Amino acid sequence: MLVSIIVPVHNAEDYLARCLDSLLGQTFLSNHQDEYEILLIENNSTDESTAIILKYLTDYPDTIRYYSVNANGAAAARNFGVTKARGKYMWFVDADDYVDQTAVQKLFKTAEKANADLTMLGAKRIFKNGHTQYLAAINPNEKDYKHRFVRYGSGPWQFLIRRSWWLDNEFQFKNGIIHEDMELMSALILYTNNFASVDEPLYFYLENDNSVLHKSTWTGEYFDIFTALDGVYQRFKAKNALKTYHDDLEYFFIWNLLLDSANDFKKFKEGRPGFKRTREMFKKYFPNWRKNKYLKQKSFLFRLRRKLSYHGIVK
């Protein structure tokens, strides 16, 4: 088996068929029909997701493998999928997204040529209003590419991953929280020098109102960002990489706490304590964050808004 695609499925009836059609329409299959598998990890769905899975399973019994698990979130579903995967490489794909038909072929070819543990892809983010944003893959030939990797972070769907490398390092996503991938994915580059990329829009990432990161009502899970970022910091500490990547990691905290999470906290009165916790985290880990060299490169307005966010003033 060459490639295992791991797809956690939870209440994805509106998107799942499109996702599966894109995975089953891969050009890679023309030469590797028996060396490609799609693992569907269904996790407590209450909609028609299971019925959709069973239909595809009937039509593609040699390619699709189906598991129904009582898991707590995407992290547990992904971790379970890894234990069942047989491929030389793995790719985590979200059920509400879809991929270009040449994606697996290009990623596999690049990974093989570079002997890469991680092969990053470019992606197109599609917003609810129809606007799009290209998320470029990091070029391993760039000077200090690892610093950029740390600075901006990434999601599990952005990489084709060598499974033996993943298992040798005993990687697992953190169960029971949202931002479950942040702690691990942001630190992966510390564990390898074998990195490659395909800077093309091979993945289509959709903003979904039903996703755990875009809820319209308050949930205490928004505070999971502090658990996730603390985990990131501890991974860098364990690898003795805090000094080397200080400015990059500091900027990662600035972006996630003073931009993304600040916008979440401001939407709900229950979120207001998040600003106090934000200040406490910066005082503990990055007390001089205002002097961050990457922050200084931003516009005056951007810097001002981050300082206001620090004090709980978000507009």
> What confidence tens digit (pLDDT) does each residue in 4-60 have?
999 999 999 999 999 999 999 999 999 999 999 999 999 989 999 999 999 999 999
DSSP secondary-structure letter at 87?
S
What does the alpha-carbon distance between residue 98 and residue 201 come to, in Å, rounded to a whole number?
11
pLDDT at 219 over 80: yes
Q: What percent of the chain has pLDDT over 70?
A: 97
Average pLDDT on 225-236 reads: 95
Would you state the pLDDT for residue 179?
87
Average pLDDT on 181-194 reads: 94
Would you state the pLDDT for residue 146?
97
Q: Which residue has the higher pLDDT, 299 or 71?
A: 299
Tell me the torsion sign for CA atoms 19, 152, 147, 136. positive
Would you state the pLDDT for residue 207?
81
Average pLDDT on 184-209 reads: 92
Would you state the pLDDT for residue 176?
83
- Confidence label for 210 from pLDDT (cuts 50, 70 and 90): low
Would you state the pLDDT for residue 194?
97
> What confidence tens digit (pLDDT) does each residue in 145-164 have?
999 999 998 999 999 999 99
- State CA 302 to chain mean position distance: 25
Q: What is the mean pLDDT of the chain?
A: 94
Would you state the pLDDT for residue 289?
98
Q: Are 86 and 4 in contact (CB under 8 A)?
A: yes
Average pLDDT on 79-106 reads: 97
Average pLDDT on 76-82 reads: 95
What does the alpha-carbon distance between residue 195 and residue 188 come to, in Å, rounded to a whole number?
10
Domain ranges of the chain: 3-206, 220-310
Would you state the pLDDT for residue 220?
84
The CATH architecture one would assign to domain 3-206 is: Alpha-Beta Complex (3.90)
> What confidence tens digit (pLDDT) does each residue in 244-276 have?
999 999 999 999 999 999 999 999 989 999 999
Average pLDDT on 205-226 reads: 76
Average pLDDT on 169-178 reads: 91
Would you state the pLDDT for residue 215?
61
Q: For 81-118, b where at least 16 C-beta lie within 10 A, e where not — what string? A: bbeebebbbbbbbbbbbbbbbebbbbbbebbeeeebbb
* 111 residue type, one letter: A
